[in-house]
């Protein structure tokens, strides 16, 4: 063990990985456990800056070959092993099209660039379920590796400007402040960039780097100060774990909680290297003595391997048994720990001493070979998976990918989150005697397919007013992607209502993501309050049209399933099981109680009609995802276009 080894940092690693695993394994008591990644970032900034500054001070420069060789020995062997093992296991669990998709994720993970792949994916409103990707957790490792590429150059630049710690502090401080400012700006404007893009996370590494340059003498003879700030740091980390949630705009200001907490704990351990070994007096109160406890040291040593393993374990377990019990989740945790233990002792730790990864000019050659091997195997696996897609699987894939009639004509017919000005799209004969308007969110969009066909059979044109995640009901909502109030929706809705009234259509057809689906996981008090707001908002919208002499039809929302229908059905076919394994109980999926309240609101407003086609999806007890040989839903709640076409007859009968 190196003389510079600090047990408190090992304990911090245990807290970091513990938070991440608890969050991903569904421990609701720690809704902010994902902030453990931010703790890792600060620790990396601290350790890397410490090592690099020591070398610059002692030698006047940096041996970059040696630095990258150390990183390769530390990270590559275990990461590559987990990637290959996850790919092999995925052959038996994932459907072929999922294997092909996630193999591309493995390619980017092997090259430490998956954060950039996920960044592009995050802008696709109808993208596949990202949480089913067994490699998504590699995004943080990619951010770290990209940091390692730039940070040495930054420190060398600081030394070139003026040798010494002061200039290094200035350069790191300027870089960190610029990163933090950009992160704050984009957290509200474009959260995906703020979350995944490494330059916008650089401030967290910089915080750790700046902390290493603080003079240790400030703490060496003030154990009371170290104790106070150490416990304050742990308190900030605890607050982050207990109070943050995925609904808050993150990283932004909220990430400062775990970052500041980690910096304080790291600084609290700088004054005396022997605190953990022989605590006494004030020293016994310094958190280092607690973080040095054997269980935390053991978990901290396994933290890297545990981080690598925990996500594919819980993802694959969730696919095999969608409703994991608490006992099953604990079993998954034990399995992840066992795999981490074996990986650490058989691959990760021996890998640091691999002779063919020793420092030197040619040390990066085998490292690049390992990276290339991971990319090549992932590419080959994607090619093999594509060949395994049979006609039935291909049909599922094509059904899920086919856009609605509105989006086929123009993807912008369904507006993005930021656009406020309505974009009407017109379908049908220009000389049509009547006009119908389709108004709402993506749940109105999927009805465009049967509605346009039904209207054309009745010499009627259809004009659409559609915006992603924006209900027709006058209800201000929180956007879970933007992580803030969806003000763009409110502005767009009012403009759309005014334009629609000016058009004087024969009928306005409304459909939207049901408030019952949105609130079903809320506590009873919150659910009652939100439902009351929604009823008032729906009534307000309907009355606006009724008072203008425009008739309105409200189509009851589609059921919401437990699984992404396309991937679940494809897996069922791959496992040679019936697609019915993907069905959801009607009581859970259809939310009949919320529909009854919606029907009551509609009946209370003159010139309105309620259209309920739920029996086309659901029987008395189950709601189905595969009906009449067709995929009914493209994901959990959007109609697959091919199946939507079969609803043209019932919709025509209801509206015409």
pLDDT digits (tens, 9 = 90+) for 419-431: 999 999 999 888 8
Residues 268 and 162 in one domain: yes
The pLDDT value given to residue 277? 47
Residues 470 and 375 in one domain: no
Percentage of the chain modeled with pLDDT above 90: 69
pLDDT at residue 300 above 60? yes
Structure tokens at 405: 């009639």
361 — pLDDT class (breaks 50, 70, 90) = low
Residues 430 and 342 in one domain: no
Indicate the residue among 371, 387, 403 that finishes a domain: 387
Residues 42 and 90 in one domain: yes
3 — pLDDT class (breaks 50, 70, 90) = very low
Total number of domains constituting the chain: 2
Residues 371 and 408 in one domain: no
Please tell me whether residue 407 adopts helix, strand or coil conformation. helix
Residue 108 lies in a domain: yes
Residues 91 and 172 in one domain: yes
Residues 167 and 278 in one domain: yes
Q: What is the extent of the structural domain holding 242? A: 7-387
Q: Report the alpha-carbon distance of residue 13 to residue 8 in Å, rounded.
A: 9
Indicate the residue among 387, 421, 448 that finishes a domain: 387
Residues 409 and 514 in one domain: yes
**CA-closest candidate to residue 481, choices 249, 638, 244, 198:** 249
Per the confidence metrics, is the pTM higher than 0.75? yes
pLDDT at residue 615 above 70? yes
Residues 309 and 406 in one domain: no
Residues 227 and 344 in one domain: yes
Residues 377 and 498 in one domain: no
Treating both helix axes as pointing N-terminal to C-terminal, what angle do 36-59 and 202-212 enclose, rounded to 10 degrees?
Answer: 50
Separation in Å, CA 48 to CA 44, 251, 256, 353, 395: 6, 22, 20, 19, 50
Residue 625 lies in a domain: no
Instruction: Enter the DSSP assignment of 482.
Output: T
Structure tokens at 249: 């705009």
pLDDT digits (tens, 9 = 90+) for 88-132: 999 999 999 999 999 999 999 999 999 999 988 776 656 667 778
Residue 524 lies in a domain: yes
Start-to-end CA distance of the chain, whole Å, equals 80
Residue 418 lies in a domain: yes
Residues 220 and 115 in one domain: yes
- Pick the range with the lowest mean pLDDT from 437-451, 511-525, 572-586: 511-525
pLDDT digits (tens, 9 = 90+) for 149-172: 999 999 989 888 888 888 999 999
CATH number of 433's domain: 3.40.50.1110
Indicate the residue among 387, 411, 427 that finishes a domain: 387
């Amino acid at each position: 063990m190196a003389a510079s080894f600090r047990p408190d940092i090992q304990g911090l690693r245990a807290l970091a990985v513990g938070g991440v695993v608890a969050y991903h394994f569904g421990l609701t008591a720690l809704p902010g456990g994902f902030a453990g990644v931010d703790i890792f970032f600060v620790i990396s900034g601290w350790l890397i800056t410490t090592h690099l500054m020591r070398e610059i001070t002692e030698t006047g420069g940096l041996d970059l070959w040696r630095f990258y060789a150390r990183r390769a020995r530390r990270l590559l062997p275990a990461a590559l092993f987990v990637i290959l093992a996850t790919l092999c296991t995925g052959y038996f669990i994932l459907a072929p099209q999922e294997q092909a998709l996630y193999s591309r994720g493995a390619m980017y993970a092997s090259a430490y660039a998956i954060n950039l792949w996920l960044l592009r994916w995050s802008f696709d409103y109808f993208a596949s379920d990202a949480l089913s990707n067994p490699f998504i957790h590699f995004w943080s490792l990619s951010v770290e590796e990209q940091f390692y590429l730039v940070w040495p150059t930054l420190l060398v630049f600081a030394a070139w400007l003026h040798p010494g710690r002061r200039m290094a502090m200035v350069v790191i401080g300027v870089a960190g402040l610029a990163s933090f400012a950009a992160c704050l700006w984009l957290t509200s404007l474009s959260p995906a960039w703020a979350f995944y893009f490494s330059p916008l996370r650089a401030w967290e590494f910089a915080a750790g780097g700046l902390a290493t340059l603080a003079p240790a003498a400030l703490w060496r003879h003030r154990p009371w100060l170290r104790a106070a700030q150490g416990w304050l740091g742990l308190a900030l980390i605890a607050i982050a774990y207990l109070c943050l949630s995925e609904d808050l705009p993150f990283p932004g200001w909220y990430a400062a909680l775990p970052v500041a907490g980690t910096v304080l704990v790291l600084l609290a351990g700088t004054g005396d290297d022997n605190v953990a070994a022989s605590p006494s007096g004030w020293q016994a109160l310094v958190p280092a003595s607690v973080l040095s406890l054997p269980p935390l040291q053991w978990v901290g040593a396994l933290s890297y391997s545990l981080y690598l393993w925990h996500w594919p374990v819980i993802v694959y377990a969730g696919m095999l048994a969608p409703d994991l019990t608490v006992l099953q989740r604990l079993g998954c945790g034990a399995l992840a720990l066992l795999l981490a233990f074996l990986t650490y002792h058989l691959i990760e730790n021996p890998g640091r001493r691999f002779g063919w990864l020793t420092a030197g000019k040619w040390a990066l050659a085998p490292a690049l070979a390992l990276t290339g091997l991971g990319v090549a195997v992932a590419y080959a696996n994607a090619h093999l998976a594509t060949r395994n897609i049979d006609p039935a699987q291909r049909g599922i894939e094509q059904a899920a990918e086919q856009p609605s009639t509105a989006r086929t004509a123009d993807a912008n017919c369904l507006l993005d989150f930021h656009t406020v000005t309505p974009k009407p799209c017109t379908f049908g004969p220009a000389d049509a005697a009547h006009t119908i308007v389709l108004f709402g969110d993506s749940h109105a969009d999927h009805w465009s397919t049967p509605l346009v066909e039904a209207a054309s059979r009745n010499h009627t044109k259809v004009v659409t007013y559609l915006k992603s995640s924006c209900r027709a009901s006058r209800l201000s909502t929180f956007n879970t992607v933007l992580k803030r109030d969806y003000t763009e929706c409110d502005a767009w809705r009012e403009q759309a209502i005014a334009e629609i009234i000016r058009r004087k259509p024969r009928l306005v057809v409304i459909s939207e993501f049901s408030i019952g689906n949105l609130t079903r996981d809320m506590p009873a008090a919150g659910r009652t309050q939100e439902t009351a707001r929604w009823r008032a908002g729906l009534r307000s919208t309907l009355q606006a049209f009724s008072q203008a002499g425009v008739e309105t039809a409200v189509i009851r929302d589609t059921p919401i399933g437990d699984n992404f229908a396309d991937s679940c059905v494809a897996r069922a076919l791959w496992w040679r099981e019936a697609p019915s394994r993907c069905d959801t109980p009607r009581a859970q999926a259809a939310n009949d109680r919320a529909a009854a309240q919606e029907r009551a609101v509609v009946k209370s407003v003159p010139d309105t009609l309620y259209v309920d086609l739920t029996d086309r999806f659901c029987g008395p007890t189950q709601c189905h995802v595969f009906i009449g040989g067709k995929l009914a839903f493209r994901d959990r709640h959007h109609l697959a276009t091919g199946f939507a076409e079969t609803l043209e007859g019932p919709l025509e009968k209801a509206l015409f």
